Structure formats: C-alpha cells, structure tokens
C-alpha cells in the first residue's frame, strides 16, 4: 500500500522539530615540549617554528574507551538529527526525541563511568609515564586529578525552533517585516539543506549496495568482491530512522524510503549471496533509488 505523505510548510515546523546541541569535552593528555622542540630545530638547523614536539602524557590507550564512547555518541547524534547552523546546532524531529534521549543517556552514563575509572587510575598513569617518557617526563606537566576531571564534560542542549512570526524587536514596522522575511528565508534555505541531507544518506547506502551486489562474483571465492551482512543492515537501520527525519513531509523522499524498505531489505545478505537473480533485482532497485536521490539533490 502506497503511503500518503502530506507536505509540511516551513512555517509549521516549529511544532515538529527541536534545535539540539551536543557538546563533549575530553582531556587530550598531550603537551608541547618547548625544550625538545627547540633542541630539534637547533640540531637540524631549522627555524624554531618549523615544527612542534607534542608528547603524550599518559600511556596510549588510557583514554581510548572514553574517546570511543564519545565517538559513538556523536554518530548517534548525527543519525537522529539534521544539519542546521554552522555552530554545530542541529534539528531533531520531536518524534525522535524519546529514542535520542535514551541513547544519549546510555552513552553519558558509560562516558562518566570510564572517566571515573581513568581518574581513579590517574596516579598510576603518571608513574607509568615516568618510565615511558624517560628524560621527557616533567611532573609539572600533570594537572591535579580535579583539574583533569574538569576537562571532561558532557552536555546536551535542546531549544525550541525559532519562528519569524514571534520575532520581537524595538524597530520600525518596515524594518521588522524585512528582518522577519530574511529570517523566514534563512529557515527555508536551512530546511532545504536538511532535506538534502536525508536524500544524501539514502543515496550513499543505496549506491553502496548497488555497487557491491553488482560486483559480487561467488565463483571467485574470497577474490569475488564479497560483501558483509552490514550491507543490508545499514539500509535497514537507516530506513527505520529516515521517516522521522523527513520533517517537511517531502513526497519524493518518502517514496524512496518506502521503496528501500520494500525492495532492499526484504532479504538478508546470505540470501543475496546465494541467489543471483535476487541479487541482480536488488542491485537494480538500489541503483534506481540512488539515482533518484542523486537527481533530487541536483547531482
């Protein structure tokens, strides 16, 4: 059954989306060693600003778990939001807020646990660095545990979408009208970019699927351009999220999402490996969707 999607006017979006900002800070545990930098420049007869020697203050991997959680959180943040402002502010459909909040809370709890574990072991990392760095070790490079703790921060801010109709400023009527028109034009342009971001996501996974399936040759064994199960799973995960991100209700985007759900993820990866006809049919469907999204974006 074909899904009917009613296009949403830009002026109606204020009740359908939120502005969201994700800010994650981490201690880099790196320090510029001015003495070594100057020594190398002098030895190599180079200018003092020709290079910089930055040393790692703690063992490699000490902060890896924290960084991995932050990276995963940023991926989820990008998945459930759309681009908006250059400062990193993004828009999120109201329908996605509950799922997004649960994921961010889970990431935050894991992040804070790993930070606590790192801080508990911080004195041990300093002692290990004394051995690892040798003559490069300098106790003055190491902030106190509490100062390091302040370098780690996690913050999610959500704000209502601004509306040109609510624009208030103590200026003459014509100037206010012009400012409102500019603001509405900016919102419309930004929303156009957001919708293209949805199309781009679908284009990328569909094109990857089309290319991988078309290149697959089971007779060539490991040299036959094998594809992973994630080829299908990536599409399945994406089409579960994209309907929420189609915040303007664009009919062409909605149809492409439905086509992807109906034609690209009906069968798992193993079935596509084993059935050449099924593989060819799915590859063609993926190519058609990718081409449609490329056309939508003006490519």
Alpha-carbon distance of 56 to 176, in angstroms, equals: 54
pLDDT, position 8: 43
**Number of domains, the chain:** 2
Q: Are 187 and 200 in contact (CB under 8 A)?
A: no
Task: Return the pLDDT at 7.
Answer: 44
Q: What is the pLDDT of residue 195?
A: 85
Mark whether 169 and 154 lie in a shared domain: no
Given this model, what pLDDT does residue 164 score? 53
pLDDT confidence of residue 299 = 58
Please say whether the dihedral angle defined by the alpha carbons of residues 99, 101, 103 and 106, taken in this order, is positive or negative. Answer: negative
Same domain, 147 and 223: no
The answer to whether residues 97 and 69 touch, using CB atoms and an 8 Å cutoff, is no
Is the same domain home to 157 and 43? Answer: yes
Whether residues 179 and 269 fall in one domain: yes
Final residue of a structural domain among 161, 188, 211: 161
Look up the domain containing 171 and give its range. Answer: 165-296
Q: Is residue 7 part of a domain?
A: no
Residues 143 and 195 in one domain: no
Residue at 5 is within a domain: no
Q: Of 108, 134, 161, which one is at a domain's C-terminal end?
A: 161
**124 and 76 share a domain?**
yes
Give the pLDDT means over successive 10-residue stretches in the chain (299 positions). Answer: 42 74 95 80 74 87 97 96 82 90 96 97 96 92 95 92 56 58 63 85 96 86 75 94 89 95 94 93 96 88
> Tokens 């250059």 label which residue?
86
Cα atoms found within 13 Å of the Cα of residue 252, Cβ hemisphere only: 14
Q: What pLDDT is attached to residue 183?
A: 55
Q: Are residues 199 and 70 in the same domain?
A: no
Task: Judge contact between 267 and 282, C-beta under 8 A.
Answer: yes
Check residue 138 and give its pLDDT: 92
Asked whether residue 65 is assigned to any structural domain, the reply reads: yes
pLDDT of residue 153: 96
178 located within any domain? yes
Q: Tell me, yes or no, whether 32 and 144 share the same domain.
A: yes
- Statement to judge: residues 154 and 173 lie in one domain: no
With respect to residue 1, please indicate whether it lies within any of the assigned structural domains.
Answer: no
* Residue 40, domain member (yes or no): yes
> What gap in Å lies between CA 54 and CA 36, rounded to an integer?
9
Residue 136 lies in a domain: yes
Token pair, residue 151, equals: 């370098």
- In this structure, is residue 219 part of a structural domain? yes
Residue from 104, 143, 106 nearest 22 by CA? 104
Query: What pLDDT, on the 0 to 100 scale, is given for residue 50?
Result: 77
- CA gap 69, 174 in Å, rounded: 50
Distance CA 147, CA 292 (A): 53
Same domain, 112 and 187: no
Claim to verify: residue 244 and residue 112 sit in the same structural domain: no
- Residue in 207, 216, 188, 199 with CA at minimum distance from that of residue 280: 216
In SS3 terms, the chain reads as: CCCCCCCCCHHHHHHCEEEEEEEEECCCCEEECHHHHHHHHHHCCCCCCCCCCEEECCCCCCCHHHHHHHHHHHHHHHHCCEECCCCCCEEEEHHHHHHHHHHHHHHHHHHHHHHHHHHHHHHHHHHHHHHHHHHHCCHHHCCCHHHHHCCCEEEEEEEECCCHHHCCCCCCHHHHHHHHHHHHHHHHHHHHHHHHHHHHHHHHHHHHHHHHHHHCCHHHHHHCCCCCCHHHHHHHHHHHHHHHHCCCCCHHHHHHHHHHHHHCCCCCHHHHHHCHHHHHHHHHHHHHHHHHHHHHCCC
Examine the fold and report which residue of 161, 195, 223 is the final residue of a domain before the chain moves on.
161
- Quick one: 219 and 279 in the same domain? yes
- What's the whole-model pTM score? 0.78
């Amino acid at each position: 059954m074909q899904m009917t999607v009613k296009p949403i006017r830009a002026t109606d979006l204020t009740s359908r989306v939120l502005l969201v900002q994700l800010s994650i800070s981490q201690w880099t545990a790196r320090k510029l060693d001015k003495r070594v930098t100057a020594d190398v420049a002098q030895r190599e007869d180079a200018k003092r600003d020709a290079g910089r020697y930055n040393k790692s203050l703690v063992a490699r991997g000490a902060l890896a778990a924290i960084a991995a959680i932050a990276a995963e959180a940023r991926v989820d943040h990008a998945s459930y939001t759309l681009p908006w402002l250059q400062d990193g502010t993004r828009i999120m459909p109201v329908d996605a807020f509950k799922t997004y909040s649960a994921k961010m809370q889970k990431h935050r709890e894991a992040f804070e646990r790993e930070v606590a574990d790192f801080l508990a072991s911080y004195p041990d990392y300093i002692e290990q660095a004394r051995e690892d760095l040798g003559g490069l070790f300098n106790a003055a490079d190491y902030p106190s545990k509490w100062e390091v703790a302040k370098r780690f921060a996690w913050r999610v801010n959500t704000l209502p979408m601004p509306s040109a109709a609510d624009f208030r400023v103590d200026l003459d009527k014509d100037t206010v009208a012009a400012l409102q028109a500019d603001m509405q034009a900016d919102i419309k342009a930004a929303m156009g970019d957001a919708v293209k971001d949805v199309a781009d996501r679908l284009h990328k996974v569909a094109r990857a699927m089309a290319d991988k399936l078309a290149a697959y040759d089971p007779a060539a064994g490991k040299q036959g351009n094998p594809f992973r199960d994630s080829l299908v799973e990536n599409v399945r995960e994406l089409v579960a999220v994209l309907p929420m991100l189609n915040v303007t209700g664009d009919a062409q985007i909605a149809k492409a999402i439905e086509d992807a759900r109906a034609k690209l993820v009906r069968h798992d990866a193993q079935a596509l490996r084993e059935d050449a006809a099924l593989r060819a049919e799915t590859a063609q469907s993926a190519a058609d969707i990718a081409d449609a999204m490329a056309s939508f974006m003006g490519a």
